[in-house]
Chain A
């Protein structure tokens, strides 16, 4: 579904993504782990057209999206739930969700809204509250809910667990599992390896702008050196 070939990108002279290859298959959940500064966020922003690619290609459903502007990439069905969550702070929860569902007609919108409310009932309770005044976990739910409103084919999540209490992380990952099981293709970046391993189909390790390992969770656990670095078990 999403194929990245020999992709290089960076900021000015600094090369952050270096000849990277990655494929995400339809219906699959791929998780990328790796140290801080490895270039994970840059890779996701590159997919979204927010960081220009210097060379290589990115294709989605067979078509190159490398040169498309961000809003057109989004309309193809790639929705990015970015680092830092970024709800529209001075808009209500409902209005935030509305911004996700702009391409839907009334019936589709209401159906989708009920679906999001069923995943995150707190969003229904707090629908009139300004998103900026909510807790971190609730803001993450707004961000994921807003992304789901677009009915994405590919949902990109950048560190949804960051800064959240373990119990909230578990709650959010339970919903991510349900979303995955509903057939949405997911590309997740996560530093919380334990929690990612529990839901993901495939896991990729990113280091210095390249994918250094790719396999299923069992294979990662089998690899002694990776196990030590990412799971802290010798």
Chain B
């Protein structure tokens, strides 16, 4: 049981990090609290389901699902979020409504019953004596690679520096000729791409349902409350805490309780550490 907790805790730390980083990044840069982030994750799973059932190869399924999700995110940003961006409350309500809307569209199109997405890799292996599928290992490896990519982007490239500059002082950045609006669109797309990749990787070992986005958004929300919104390292630590708390609950007590535990962590964090364990602002350190 301890080995199960260690292995699956690590896998879910990576996956939750991916989802929460996207959520945290767009907040850190544009101060957008995007409650439809989980719906993007769900949407990517359905896009993968639809594309793979129409017989496309793995590469095209992945690329197609990611691109469609990015387009959806940018359209929703330009159409509904941008006009309301100055009000945090309106953005919260609108993105919540948009998530419900997407869920309904999916129910109407694909029906409420669960769908299954084929694995990218077949078979499995044993780690610390725990049986894991190759798909789970793949999810872990790719998320680690993408988190490193994000770190490299933010700390080592001009685009990353511009993103951090906009996050630290948007007005000052614009006085240097930076078009913050373009950066918001880029980060919105990047954030959605992270949700989409997470969706693609985990869809084969989850059941794909129209409501599947709510559980990850709850986890992401708790993670960023713990880690501080917009803080990359804080997000990783938050993901570690939430993933292991859920795995300990699932294996030592009852899998049904795992979301209750996440809620409890969120409430405790909001009560005792409302600004997270660290500071805010997108930073590379």
Contacts and interface: CB of A to CB of B under 8 A. Distances in A.
B174 A99 contact: no
Interface of B: 158, 161-162, 164-165, 168-169, 171-180, 281, 283, 285
Interface stretch (A20-28, A34-42, A54-62, A81-89): A81-89
Nearest to B173: A99
A48 B162 CA distance: 20
Contact of B161 (A69, A95, A147): A95
Interface in A62-115: 69-71, 74-75, 79-80, 82, 86, 88-91, 95, 98-100, 102-103
Contacts of B176: 71, 74, 79, 99-100, 102, 146-147, 150
B180 A71 contact: yes
B172 A82 contact: yes
Contacts of A15: none
Given A88-B169, A88-B172, A90-B283, A102 B164 contact: no
Closest 6 CB pairs of A and B: A74-B177, A70-B174, A75-B177, A88-B168, A71-B174, A90-B283
B171 A50 contact: yes
Contact of A71 (B164, B165, B177, B285): B177
A5 to B, nearest CB: 23
Contacts of A100: 176
Contact of B162 (A82, A99, A103): A99
The listed residue with most A CB atoms (<10 A of its CB), out of B162, B164, B168, is B168
Contacts of B179: 69, 71
Interface string A143-183: 00011001000000000000000000000000000000000
Contacts of B285: 90
B161 A99 contact: yes
B30 to A, nearest CB: 15
B4 to A, nearest CB: 39
B3 to A, nearest CB: 39
Most B C-beta atoms less than 10 A away, residue of A50, A82, A102: A102
A132 B114 CA distance: 51
Contacts of A98: 158, 161
